[in-house]
A and B are shown apart, each in its own frame.
Chain A
């Protein structure tokens, strides 16, 4: 009897303790939000909704608007997805379905190793290697021949929205790649063999398998990559050019929300500091909105995929 009650109290203790830790996470999130909100009140009071739609960032006159930063964060992140998703999914299919066994391990190991490199190293590599190559091999010829398209308008300097997008793409490839590989591996062999035995080609097999079974998983992997891209700070600030302005051209400079906080926080005071905190709050909200939207799409896709099967 005594032993039994001791057991119950231990179970209870464990339950309470784990509940406490779980609520701690919630508490931290709420606290984070509350502190960000509290510190950004002076900027909210001064600028209100105009903070979202104006583009001036003048620490001398204390006029602040977040639009170029929001634009820069979103455009550089989506640009990264545009490049990284096809590359990673393609690589995942190759590694899982086509690569000879001796190639599988080294390729996937190297790709996953990319995730372990600190972002400041990516940034330095961006400044000294990626930006000059992009500028001379890609951007300059494109501006010369297709400069009439607003997207490719010069002048070309190097640090640009495009450089940030490409660098971010390289940084998120390992995440999308490894999750996509896991997703592809979950397809039952029987299903694949069934398609092949009905006379389908490998391409048809992949198309059916991915379309039916893997799309939600790959979408989830994309969201994981997007989350990383939205919050990336150091690497982006080193190659984006840090110019709080909105240009149609991908070859012009930009700025991102995380970058301006990292750049100016240490020496900021007063309204500038408050505006930076407000940008932090907005970044949190942007991430939240993107993730919620992604979750909705994901659950719809999952429902459709399971209906299909």
Chain B
């Protein structure tokens, strides 16, 4: 009997101790939980770090589980915010418990990369040539359709080895969206999505997998994120955009794509930037979004979220270039800032 009471005394002490820990924790900063896209993860990490340093009252916990996962989590309400590289579908939005805002935070670009001895970076490709290659119709590097645009270079008589992502990915979504936008055959036969039924090619897992195949295989052509191509010094192709200019993928050219659609930017920001108008626009660009409910359930959290987002579209934008992300054009950032007024708690704006 005595022994048991000893145990229970220890138990009570343990419970009391853990209660003390919990109450100490409640005095700690507000923890904002988020989950979603992997593409903007390095940028968000930097933002959360800088923002929490300046505002010690708020801390962030972000799990980069993929866009699909982010949408699932915010739909289930297990996180305060989600993040995605592809806008939510109408069908997906119907499943939500309340209205949601898509808040653009940065721009990404997808670029064709290749491995071809004796051919420098900047090989010129037209939309139809790129689609033809990925459809398996153009199979050799010295095909007249490629040579026509590249008279200055000698193209080898070699097989084109197509490389694509094997995992479901926002990068593939943007890339296939582009091919579907510029090529009717691609649109009819393949369509677009995070994973598609590729007519040809080798699948690599992740950007690193595609880069691995391209680097190791002479004659390979694949697509990766701009930042990945830059950091790995891969040969990047130039693409002919909608205005007929051949542009090389840069951060400026990516921002130009958003500027190109700025005037026609819908109020909900759910817009595709592929094949965007504008002389300097890189045609395979896309926005990445944070997903936040319009009607916030917790005033303190809602307020903190809005404050952070205001900071992100203004001060945060200055950190993008250093991390190889393209910043939102100024007029788009201003539009986004205004849209933050829609976030409310019990009908009252938290802006």
A interface residues, Cβ below 8 angstroms from B: 56-61, 124, 127-128, 131-132, 155, 157-159, 237-238, 241-243, 253, 255, 259, 262-264, 266-269, 272
CB distance from B105 to the nearest CB of A (A): 20
Task: Select one of B167, B197, B212 contacting A264, CB under 8 A.
Answer: B167
Q: Which among B191, B192, B197 is the interface contact of A57 at CB below 8 angstroms?
A: B197
How long is the Cα–Cα vector from A257 to B97 in the complex, in angstroms? 36
Which chain A residue has the least Cβ–Cβ distance from B202? A241
Q: Which of B67, B161, B216 contacts A131 (CB 8 A)?
A: B216
Chain B residues contacting A128 (CB-CB under 8 Å) are 212, 216
- Of residues 192 through 228 on chain B, the ones whose CB sits less than 8 Å from some CB of chain A are 192-198, 201-205, 209, 212-213, 216-217, 220
Q: Give the contacting residue for B65; candidates A60, A157, A266, A268; CB below 8 A.
A: A266
> Which of chain B's residues has its CB closest to A260's CB?
B166
| A264: chain B residues within 8 A (beta carbon) | 167-168, 195
Whole-angstrom distance from the CB of B155 to the nearest CB of chain A? 18
A4 to B195 alpha-carbon distance, docked (Å): 68
Report the minimal beta-carbon distance from A183 to chain B, rounded to whole angstroms: 37
From B159, B167, B196, B202, contact of A159 by CB (8 A): B202
Provide the residues of chain A in CB contact with B209, threshold 8 Å: 127, 238
Contact call B216/A266, Cβ cutoff below 8 A:
no
Q: Is the CB of A242 within 8 A of B204?
A: yes
Query: How many chain-B residues does the 8 Å CB contact rule pick out?
Result: 32
B residues near A272, Cβ cutoff 8 Å: 195
B205 CB contact (under 8 Å) in A60, A61, A238: A238
Contact of A267 among B190, B192, B194, B202 (CB under 8 A): B194
**B149 CB to nearest A CB, Å:** 25
Report which of A59, A241, A243 forms a contact with B196, defined as CB distance below 8 A.
A59
> Any chain A CB within 8 A of the CB of B132?
no
Contact B216 A243 (CB under 8 A): no
Partner of A241, one of B72, B168, B203: B203
Determine whether B69 belongs to the interface, using a CB cutoff of 8 Å to chain A: yes
Besides A124-B212, A157-B217, A267-B168, 10 other CB < 8 A contacts? A56-B197, A159-B202, A159-B213, A237-B166, A243-B201, A243-B203, A262-B205, A263-B205, A267-B167, A268-B195
Total contacts A-B at CB 8 Å: 93
Which residue of chain A is the closest to B211 with respect to CB atoms?
A127
Once the chains bind, are A155 and B159 in contact (CB under 8 Å)? yes
Q: How far is the CB of B185 from chain A (nearest CB, A)?
A: 14
B278 beta carbon closer than 8 Å to chain A: no
Interface residue B66 (Cβ < 8 Å from any Cβ of A): yes
Q: A59-B195, A266-B168, A267-B194 are in contact. Are A237 and B205 (CB under 8 A)?
A: yes
B169 CB within 8 Å of chain A: yes
Of B66, B191, B203, B204, which contacts A266 at CB under 8 A? Answer: B66
B191: chain A residues within 8 A (beta carbon): 60-61
Whether A243 contacts B202 by the Cβ 8 Å rule is yes
Task: Specify the chain B residue showing the minimal Cβ separation from A155.
Answer: B159
Whether B201 lies near A59 (C-beta < 8 A) is no
A10: shortest Cβ distance to chain B, in Å?
17
A262 surroundings in chain B (CB, below 8 A): 167, 205
Residues of A within 8 A of B190 (CB): 60
Q: How far is the CA of A158 from the CA of B161 in the complex (A)?
A: 10
Residue of B nearest to A157 (CB): B161
> Nearest 6 A-B pairs (CB), nearest first?
A242-B203, A267-B168, A242-B166, A58-B197, A60-B191, A267-B68
Q: Which of B159, B168, B202 contacts A242 (CB 8 A)?
A: B202
Contact of A127 among B68, B159, B169, B212 (CB under 8 A): B212
Partner of B68, one of A131, A132, A269: A269
Say whether B216 contacts A158, CB under 8 Å. yes
CB distance from B331 to the nearest CB of A (A): 32
Q: Which residue of A lies closest to B195 (CB)?
A: A59
Task: Give CA–CA (A127, B206) in the complex, Å.
Answer: 13
12 A-B pairs (CB sep. < 8 Å): A127-B209, A157-B161, A157-B220, A159-B217, A238-B209, A241-B202, A241-B203, A242-B166, A259-B166, A263-B167, A266-B66, A267-B167
Alpha-carbon distance between A267 and B64 when the two chains are bound, in angstroms: 12
Least CB distance from A154 to B in Å reads 9
A102 to B250, CA, bound (A): 60
Would B217 and A263 count as touching, CB distance under 8 A?
no
Asked whether, in the complex, the Cβ of A267 is within 8 Å of the Cβ of B169, the reply is yes
Closest beta carbon of chain B to A257's beta carbon, Å: 14
Which chain A residue lies CB-closest to B198? A243
List A contacts of B161 (CB < 8 A). Answer: 157
Max chain A CB contacts within 10 Å: which of B65, B69, B166, B169? Answer: B166
Q: Mark B166-191, 1 if CB is under 8 A from A, else 0.
A: 11110000000000000000000011
> Given A241-B202, A268-B168, is A59 in contact with B193 using a C-beta cutoff of 8 Å?
yes
Residue on B nearest A58 in the bound complex, by CB: B197
Partner of B69, one of A132, A159, A266: A266
